[in-house]
Amino acid sequence: MSTKNVTGAVLVAGGGIAGIQAALDLANSGYYVYMLEKSPSIGGVMAQLDKTFPTNDCSMCIMSPKLVEVGRHMNIELITLAEIKDVRGQQGDFEVDVFQKARYVDMTKCIACGACTEKCPKKVDDVYNAGLAKRKAIYVPYPQAVPLKYAIDAKNCIKLTKGKCGICEKTCPAGAIMYDDKDKNLTLKVGSIVLAPGFSTYNPSGKAIYNYDASKDVVTSIEFERYLSASGPNQGHVVRPSDHVHPHKIAWLQCIGSRDINTCGNGYCSSVCCMYAIKQAIIAKEHDPSLECTIFYMDMRTHGKGFESCYNEAKEKHGIKFVRCRIHSIFTQEGEEKGQVLDYFDEATGKVVRELYDIVVLSVGMEISPETRQLAEKIGVDLTPSGFVKTSSFDPVATSKPGVYVCGAIQGPKDIPQSVVEAGGAAMRAGASLASARNTLTKTAPERTEIDIKGDRPRIGVFVCHCGSNIAGVIDVPAVRDYAATLPYVEYVANNMYSCSQDAQDAIAAVIKEKNLNRMIVAACSPRTHEPLFQETLLAAGINKYLFEMVNIRNHGSWVHKDHPVEATEKAKDLVRMAAAKSALLEPLSEADLDIDQNVVVIGGGIAGMTAAKSLADQGYKVNIIEREASLGGQAKNLYQTAGGAMIQEGLKNLASEVTSHENITVFAGSNIEGVEGFVGNFKTIVNTGGTSKTIEHGVTVVATGASELKPTEYMYGQDKRIVTGIELDKMFINDDPALKSVNSAVFIQCVGSREPERPYCSRICCTHSVVSALHLKEKNPDMNVFVLYRDIRTYGEKELLYKEAREKGVIFVRYGLSNKPVVSVGENGKLNIRVTDHVLQLPLVIEADLLTLASAVVPYKDEKLAQFFKVPLNEDGFFVEAHVKLAPSDFATDGVFLCGLAHYPKPIDESIAQAQAAASSALRLLAKKSIKTQGAIAEVNQMICSGCGVCVAVCPYNAPSMRLSKPYEGKAEINPVLCKGCGACVSSCRSGALKLKGFDEGQLIAMIQSATNF
């Protein structure tokens, strides 16, 4: 396709976390992005959540920087209140007809002051708060909304429906109200389309068995999320909805609207419900440790990274009760002992138990709305029987229509990390066919000129954040603000409801200019997530970004001292005073430009590594694959078929052929890495191939080293050839092993080596793999007896339909417990005997088997040497640790190094491929810049007093210090500013006091200490 036929713009339909990530990846990789959102602002369901687990981060706090980045990005055009009406054309050259509803507010004039909504007389149900509170007919969906511009609800506005009122027009100080605004029809020219419209939660209304319509005390999980949230209708205080009394017992009912073909027809698993129920129960217990929380479930599906640990923590640390039972119905008991009545079967006693709960939370599942299905039909993409967009195992983000890609829940139920992964994958695929038109439509930011403050008296601005009730619910924010005004050099103080919101950022930048401020302090949440956001605001105001100090009065104040508000307020004042003392001594720091070498190294030649390599090579970059084995393929060489029905060996052969024949890819097979030097943009990796070493220079690295199957030490493995692992069974399928024809009885044992004390994580893929293998055996011999012995069946998403099919075809599932595992022996007749206790009858069951398959754990290589080479961490299980489990699952904290596949965590082939594409997308964001800025807050050596002891060289985890080899300071230490991460290890260990850390000078730190101790 020639460049003239390719449009360098992409349409992203959907403003949830998946759409946001896809838009940012594309815009930062050289493409212009039109972002459509049907509501007045972006954010999606994630904006309604309280916290995310297992990180325990405030959902909006970690999302706000991304929202603001989208709102500020000059290559992302937000089109809100909009939807696709029609699509014409082909990949590279689409025309998209868009219908945009009237906002009735001029966005160029609206200053988001809120005067209109204060005076508006019309109240309607607040969708953001799940209908639990009211909002006005003119509104913003939530305080941190982007764009933070008001909109009029035309269906409820008195002026627009009846011609009366008009108060908002009279009240608006900016003259932004436009009652004569009209709906618009737009036509956009784009090269690719990314669908990310999100999902709807199941509505239990009309189902009498749930008692949802009859009782206020039966709530959905989204409603309970809003009750927990500091920005919710109760400011985070959990009360019984019907009478606002303090609850003592709360129950969660799982699989409401999921795994249910009787009530709603949603036979699939919604993937996220078990984990969010655990999260909600833990948060509720944190609010009130005496609260009794019970989760009723069928299978506990905590299959994500870190999820099993949360499950164990919920049981062992927080005392949350888990009952394996699907509750049939709920009814209300009135009178003195008011509550919701649940009857359930107790497996331990064999009796029916009746309990009374103050609140019952229905853990509702995901489904695709009729509007989303209609959108898919308009565009012409195929759907699965469950209504999700159909994709393939080897191209998991591509639809049936070329040039149209998907990410997030529209492709199937999934959690935040997987949605973010798919967003990166969709961005990579959407951009790949448009590579020839990259940067043809993008705008370039003008050069920023910093104000020279040298010699100026410090003029500090202090901004204290309410963060809803996250901070203000404990700390007296106005008191902290007023106290800050008394501190030396503080010229301006203010308190913001949400300092990270777009309007607050704009207001701060305006105040800096108006008041001629030259330093800024924000007392809010964690600098780990928000410091770059505020530094960007400083830059926008013309101030050096290192003249900023952030005080964490949330994590270090309101959260840890929530029961001591007076003391927490005093501590917040102390922290602000210390920050002011340091801020007065801050100096501007400089950052150097660093060129990015345009070559790539991918470590690992399995499916993930090859996919990452091909993705980047297709974008025009030279890629080197380093593979330890003699041939490409990794673990996939031993696998038979995916859950989606794709033949793995055929797909693997095609992928390997494309990689080996690609003009931009060089493969180093049978090779090992001997050493790594350098840093982001300028790595040098020494590769040994057959005894010959070669140095590869490259700008970025993708780690895709894979994992392996555990060789069991139990269940008589290795003592009888009829006992095999899951991969060994796949090899038998691949080779059409004649031994399979004589099998009349087969048994699978799950969780072999997984979810054990020495390996507590879930291996994620084993349940589905065994179910698929059981179906293969049934295909070979429908009369074969097949048993699966399991602890929890974790066929998440639409894989649940395979579990259903297996049961329908006669596969028998028997549950066992960790304390009563199956016992394998050889009987007198030579048959394998597997003894297990039947979980229904509570009686021992002995199964005679011709074949026993052990679903063995996925174990990481624990490559500590490689981890040291690239300064990337491993977790306690041996998997590599990503930069952020939710929002950066394919990135490392180390700049220029990215992650995908089994090296990150166990996952099936389609998820490995999606993550490989996401890692490539993250790498492309860096490569496309061609140069980056180095860090300013780095160590510096006074070589006049350096003793040359070398301690700094020994202690630095990043290899930043070295000893000079030339005069005039031969033998003295020097710091590579690119490698230095500003950790300060060298400074604290320097015996001669020759080292200092810029931004943390001794004088600044002493000023903070004196401020804290001498006050």
Where helices occur in 704-781 by DSSP H, the ranges are 726-734, 766-780
Rounded distance between C-alpha atoms, residue 486 and residue 465, angstroms:
18
Average pLDDT of 870-891?
95
pLDDT digits (tens, 9 = 90+) for 473-525: 899 999 999 999 999 999 999 998 888 888 888 889 999 999 999 999 999 98
Rounded CA-CA distance 437/93 in Å is 11
How far is CA 776 from each of CA 166, 765, 779, rounded to the nearest angstrom? 68, 17, 5
Mean pLDDT of the 185-194 span: 98
With a cut of 60, say whether residue 529 has pLDDT above it.
yes
Residue 553's nearest CA partner among 585, 584, 530 is: 530
Each residue's pLDDT tens digit, 943-997: 999 999 999 999 998 889 999 999 999 999 999 888 888 999 999 999 999 999 9
Bridge partners of 812, per DSSP, are 787
Please give the DSSP secondary-structure letter assigned to residue 147.
S
pLDDT 10s digits, 234-287: 888 899 999 999 999 999 999 999 999 989 999 999 999 999 999 999 999 988
Percent of the chain surpassing pLDDT 90: 85
Cα–Cα distance, 344 to 870 (Å, whole number) = 53
Torsion of CA 352, 357, 359, 360, to 10 degrees: 0
443: tokens are: 């705008």
The string of pLDDT tens digits covering residues 116-168 is 999 999 999 999 999 999 999 999 999 889 999 999 999 999 999 999 999 99
What mean pLDDT comes out for the span 902-914? 98
Per-residue confidence (pLDDT) for residue 1, from 0 to 100 = 45
Contact (Cβ atoms closer than 8 angstroms) between residue 556 and residue 497: no
* pLDDT tens-digit readout, 725-779: 999 999 999 999 999 999 999 999 999 999 999 999 999 999 999 999 999 999 9
Give the C-alpha separation, 213 to 997, whole Å: 62
User: pLDDT value at position 467?
Assistant: 86
Per residue in 364-386, pLDDT (tens digit) is: 999 999 999 999 988 999 999 99
Mean pLDDT, residues 698-719 taken together: 97
Partners of 790 in the beta sheet? 815
* Distance in angstroms (rounded) separating the CA atoms of residues 814 and 807: 11
Query: Which residue type sits at 54?
Result: P
- Helical (H) or strand (E) element with 601: strand 599-603
Distance of CA 723 to CAs 614, 715, 813, 852, 856, Å?
38, 8, 19, 5, 12
Give the pLDDT band (50/70/90) at residue 1015: low
Average pLDDT over every residue of 780-800: 97
**Mean pLDDT within 571-587:** 96
Least-confidence region, from 57-71, 642-656, 678-692? 57-71
**Looking at residues 1005-1011, what average pLDDT do you find?**
93
What mean pLDDT is predicted for residues 545-555? 95
> At 995, which helix (H) or strand (E)?
strand 995-997
**Distance in Å from the first CA to the final CA of the chain:** 71
The model's pTM is 0.93
Q: Is the distance from CB of 926 to CB of 406 less than 8 angstroms?
A: no
Q: Which residues pair with 105 in a beta bridge?
A: 177
Instruction: Give the pLDDT confidence score for residue 251 in this predicted structure.
Output: 98
| pLDDT over 90 at 866, yes or no | yes
Predicted confidence (pLDDT) at residue 4 exceeds the cutoff of 70: no
Q: How far is CA 643 from CA 6, 392, 640, 770, 911, in A?
A: 35, 10, 10, 10, 12
pLDDT at 723: 98
Question: To the nearest whole number, what is the mean pLDDT of the chain?
Answer: 94
Residue 96 has pLDDT above 90, yes or no: yes
pLDDT in tens, 198-233: 999 999 999 999 999 999 999 999 999 999 998 899
pLDDT of residue 3: 54
Confidence band, pLDDT 50/70/90 cuts, at residue 15: very high
Place of tokens 């992409």: 10
In this prediction, residue 111 has a pLDDT band, given cuts at 50, 70 and 90, of confident
Q: Is the pLDDT of residue 587 over 50?
A: yes
- What is the pLDDT, as a whole number, of residue 498? 84
At residue 144, the pLDDT reads 87
pLDDT at 2 over 70: no
